[in-house]
Chain A
Amino acid sequence: MGQFQSLLVDIPLQDNPSHHPPPQLSLKDSLWLGQFQAMASDCQILLEGVDQLQAETFLKLATIETWRIEHKFSRYKTGNTMDQINHAYKQALSVDDETTALLNFADQCYQLSDGLFDVTAGVLRKIWKFNGSDHIPTSQQIDEILPLIGWHKVHWKAQNIKLPEAMELDLGGIGKEYAVDKVRLLLQKKIPQTKDCRILINFGGDLACSGPRLNGEAWEVAVESFQHEKHAALNVKLNQGAIATSGDSRRFLLKEGVRYSHILNPRTGQAITDAPHSVSVAAPSCMQAGILSTMAMLQGRGAEDFLTAQGADFWVQRS
């Protein structure tokens, strides 16, 4: 058995609409590691119990699916589904089953969170610029933009969507977690019945696994510490399910000693001031974990109490 270095996996042009560099496959301590870029994150797939050909196939499938989701729901592409939705002002737009499912999910999260989770809140980025400076928006600026926020104002019924003028949808808050879950499902379906294969997916700190490692032990993942001073990586052990992390990752505004995190309250248009540096939640799926961690951040000082009340496994960093 020769020494395996690493190879680049070929992805056809039509499956790479964002022109990312090709994914890379390497072998690390009997584990296959596949790496690629997507959604402004380092994406990794760890595979155990497969041969090289299967590892290449799985990495290819995972990359194509992630890039597909990225391209479809990105706010920055012209002509994609998201762009069409964000211009559906005059006429209702009919969307496909996948988009319908995502919007239904967003609808339910809006109701469950009493409006704190709101996919129409993306317009707030126009007045809140998180660059470490002290420019916080004025109350007049906030008052002007608040009418453009509110999922209940969107016309969403039976696969047809129409937005009031100047409103926008932003699925960035759930896009990465959705991709993690979809890729996990996709790869699990491809594992032959006779094979014992384990998978760990890590898209920039949003993780999901198909079960413990083949030796029965948990996966050990290094999660970036969001502590401002220390850069020590944190080791997390994952046996089953998924972990999602919400963090401020150094995006904040500091004015008169008050730290305004980039977590914004859609109801008031204000930034949450007592938000933790990061919240990590474990749940059966990455989407669940992601929503819980986002909602926890929105509770500011009450993040831990909120997660305790939900009975979730979690870890909060505040300093």
Chain B
Amino acid sequence: MKFKYIARSTSCLAIALALSACSNIGIKPWERDTLSRPEMQLIHDAVEAGLDDHIYFSKEASSGGRSFGGGGCGCN
């Protein structure tokens, strides 16, 4: 139970720090041309990401990270 508390409070702190530091980091709306390119999206190929997630979820004990953990496929 202890690590649950530590992990949660650390992540809350990290998010709060990130937000406060973030208020001045960034770019103007018209500077978005590079970031709006398809290959710069965080999940560029959703089909490949889904297939890989399924493989690793079936073969390893960890899952998720980017989106929800698990795929409900019975692979345990």
Chain A residues within CB distance 8 Å of chain B: 104-105, 107-108
Q: Give min CB distance, A55 to chain B, whole Å.
A: 36
In the complex, chain A residues whose CB is within 8 Å of the CB of B29: 104
- Residue B30 is within 8 A (CB to CB) of chain A in the complex: yes
Question: Would you give 7 A-B contacts (Cβ < 8 Å), ordered by A?
Answer: A104-B28, A104-B29, A104-B30, A105-B30, A107-B28, A108-B28, A108-B30
Q: Give the nearest-CB partner of A100 in chain B.
A: B29
What is the bound-complex CA distance between A108 and B30, given in angstroms? Answer: 8
Q: Give min CB distance, A181 to chain B, whole Å.
A: 15
Q: Give the nearest-CB partner of B31 in chain A.
A: A108
What is the bound-complex CA distance between A108 and B28, given in angstroms? Answer: 9
Interface of A is mostly: helix
Q: Give min CB distance, A154 to chain B, whole Å.
A: 16
Residues facing A in B23-37 (CB within 8 A) are 28-30
Q: Give the nearest-CB partner of A111 in chain B.
A: B28
What is the bound-complex CA distance between A105 and B29, given in angstroms? Answer: 9
Between A and B, how many residue pairs show CB distances below 8 Å? 7
Residues facing A in B6-44 (CB within 8 A) are 28-30
Q: Give the nearest-CB partner of B30 in chain A.
A: A108
What is the bound-complex CA distance between A30 and B14, given in angstroms? Answer: 65
What is the bound-complex CA distance between A105 and B28, given in angstroms? Answer: 10
In the complex, chain B residues whose CB is within 8 Å of the CB of A108: 28, 30
In the complex, chain A residues whose CB is within 8 Å of the CB of B30: 104-105, 108
What is the bound-complex CA distance between A104 and B27, given in angstroms? Answer: 12
Q: Give min CB distance, A291 to chain B, whole Å.
A: 12
In the complex, chain A residues whose CB is within 8 Å of the CB of B28: 104, 107-108
In the complex, chain B residues whose CB is within 8 Å of the CB of A104: 28-30
Q: Give the nearest-CB partner of B23 in chain A.
A: A158
Q: Give min CB distance, B18 to chain A, whole Å.
A: 19
Q: Give min CB distance, A104 to chain B, whole Å.
A: 6
What is the bound-complex CA distance between A107 and B28, given in angstroms? Answer: 10
Q: Give min CB distance, A171 to chain B, whole Å.
A: 18
Q: Give the nearest-CB partner of B29 in chain A.
A: A104
Closest 7 CB pairs of A and B: A108-B30, A104-B29, A108-B28, A104-B28, A104-B30, A105-B30, A107-B28
Q: Give min CB distance, A102 to chain B, whole Å.
A: 12
What is the bound-complex CA distance between A104 and B29, given in angstroms? Answer: 8
In the complex, chain B residues whose CB is within 8 Å of the CB of A105: 30
Q: Give min CB distance, A211 to chain B, whole Å.
A: 24
Q: Give the nearest-CB partner of A107 in chain B.
A: B28
Q: Give min CB distance, A157 to chain B, whole Å.
A: 11
Q: Give min CB distance, B16 to chain A, whole Å.
A: 20
What is the bound-complex CA distance between A251 and B76, given in angstroms? Answer: 79
What is the bound-complex CA distance between A107 and B29, given in angstroms? Answer: 11
Q: Give min CB distance, A195 to chain B, whole Å.
A: 30
Q: Give the nearest-CB partner of A101 in chain B.
A: B29
In the complex, chain B residues whose CB is within 8 Å of the CB of A107: 28
What is the bound-complex CA distance between A104 and B30, given in angstroms? Answer: 9
Q: Give min CB distance, B31 to chain A, whole Å.
A: 9
What is the bound-complex CA distance between A236 and B48, given in angstroms? Answer: 49
Q: Give min CB distance, A100 to chain B, whole Å.
A: 10
What is the bound-complex CA distance between A120 and B4, given in angstroms? Answer: 56
Q: Give the nearest-CB partner of A104 in chain B.
A: B29
Q: Give min CB distance, A106 to chain B, whole Å.
A: 12
What is the bound-complex CA distance between A144 and B29, given in angstroms? Answer: 35
Q: Give min CB distance, B41 to chain A, whole Å.
A: 24
